[in-house]
Amino acid sequence: MSSDLLVDLHDDLGGDDSPSAALDQLKLVQDKQWLPDDPVSLSKSASDIKSLGGTSHLPWDDPFYDIARHQIVEVAGDDNFGRKVIVFNACRMPPHHQLDHHKLLMYLKQTLDKYVESDYTLIYFHHGLTSENKPSLSWLRDAYREFDRKYKKNIKALYIVHPTMFIRTILILFKPIISFKFGRKINYINYLSELEEIVKCDQLVIPNRVREYDDKIRLSLKPSVVPGPISPPHSPPLPSQQFGVPLSALRHSAADSEGIPLVMRATIEFLQENGLKTEGIFRRSANVSLVKEIKQKYNSGEEVNFSQLDDVHLAAVILKMFLRELPEPLLTYQLYNDIVNFHNVDTESQAERIRNMLTSLPEENYTSLRFLIQFLAQVSAESEVNKMTNANLAVVFGPNLLWGQDASMTLSAIGPINNFTRILLDLHQEVFTQ
């Protein structure tokens, strides 16, 4: 993975500090002057959408339905460091005459509005952008103006996958208007296997066209420089491993007398004592090296003392990571369809319906879920201070409590999962009444 830091900005602007002035001075290239790129037709992007059913997470009468149905923008759970992942697929952009670019921009803002209060990662799959579907430079300029500090503050990284000379040139053109701080967040990803350092590729709905292109460029390399597979084979678990281990196994080796996994018990008890009034708890990421170190300590059987570390956000990230790395989600694959379709249940019947659904959970799952939800209710009770309402907590925890068997996450699934999680939090006293 390479990182091009766009840092020498002042010299290009002659010392002008005004981003607005820089935008106005930027010479815009006419559409016909776009640099040539990979000359592949758009037919495959249409087949990508068709293979996914051309579905939208929005109802047909929603003003953004015609944008959402292309699945250009997706949300894919959390990355390896507890940050929300937003994905933009260039190959799914239809030709100019079939897409309202202003509406696309508004839809992107609407999607980000749900997540920008949390730390997040943006992954841009560049392959598939052609002369037929490239937006104009004036649109890119307007887009940069639209995304003010609210959107840029909490983005921790922008990963451009399969960059070409075209996208590198665009970044050079926009150098005068990209801040030093934002420039440091831009990274180039040459192969999908490099993404595994940031996010599990299994949870991304990567278009077939992008995967085929990645295979093509990997095969063109000399054997000595071919990168590893997208998803490397799993190593056998360590004897004391706690991450990525089934709850049924942890119940006998790494759980307390109540059957709560040690990682959950340690993080939640620390957060109960120290984090309930922390603004933005579960929305911030933690030091990447420290997260890796704590995970390694747990898996090696070493003791972890969060009181000594004294970092609320670190404990919060470790808790989310533990849930996300379970081989099967806490709410189990068995309940996936019931949960995704829960919006069809009448309000008056919801508590009873959830109670009945949860009876199918293994004992260790039910015990851990109840422990977690009762803790999150304590967090929500302090929402005037920590800003974490049930709805906000649902956005954070929904994708960490349930995912499909193919592990991928899409907006069409995340919405219903988050909605169920919010209802579970709203009704937790009725649901978990003994």
How far from the centroid of its chain's Cα atoms is residue 360's Cα?
Answer: 29
| First-residue to last-residue Cα distance in the chain | 52
Question: Which tokens is 434 given?
Answer: 């003994």
The pair of three-digit structure tokens given for residue 403, joined into one six-digit string: 């995912």
Cα separation, 278 vs 314, whole angstroms:
13
Residues 19 and 10: their CA atoms lie apart, in Å, by 11
- Residues 299, 234: Cα–Cα separation, whole Å: 14
* pLDDT value, residue 172: 82
Residue 121's nearest CA partner among 59, 203, 180, 216 is 203
CA–CA separation, 253 and 231 (whole Å): 28
The listed range with the strongest mean pLDDT (137-141, 200-204, 307-311) is: 307-311
Please give the Cα distance from 424 to 434 (Å, whole number).
16
Check residue 6 and give its pLDDT: 39
| Across 77-94, average pLDDT | 90
Alpha-carbon dihedral 188, 192, 193, 196, rounded to 10 degrees: 80
pLDDT tier at 358 (50, 70, 90 boundaries)?
A: very high
What's the average model confidence in pLDDT over 200-224?
Answer: 86
User: Six-digit token pair at 29?
Assistant: 């290239």
Q: Pick from 56, 121, 148, 75: which is nearest to 395 by CA?
A: 75
The string of DSSP codes covering 252-302 is HHSB-TTS-BHHHHHHHHHHHHHTTT-TTTTTS---HHHHHHHHHHHHTT-
Given a contact cutoff of 8 angstroms between Cβ atoms, the answer to whether 405 and 333 are in contact is yes
Which tokens belong to 246?
Answer: 């089934």
Left (φ > 0), alpha (ψ -120 to 50) or beta: where does 387 sit?
Answer: left
The reported pLDDT for the residue numbered 232 is 55
Instruction: Tell me how long the chain is.
Output: 434
Pairwise CA distance, residues 67 & 293, whole Å: 42
Which helix (H) or strand (E) is 386 found in, with range? helix 383-386
Write down the pLDDT at residue 34: 42
| pTM (2 d.p.) | 0.76
Residue with tokens 């994905």: 87
d(CA 300, CA 323): 18
Q: How far is CA 252 from CA 130, 240, 242, 266, 362, in A?
A: 55, 11, 12, 17, 14
The least confident of 164-178, 305-319, 383-397 is: 164-178
Question: 227 falls in which pLDDT band (50, 70, 90)?
Answer: low
What phi, psi does 305 have (nearest 5°)? -115, 100
* 3-state class percentages of the chain: helix first, strand second, coil last, to nearest 5: 50, 5, 40
Q: Is the confidence at residue 44, as pLDDT, over 80?
A: no
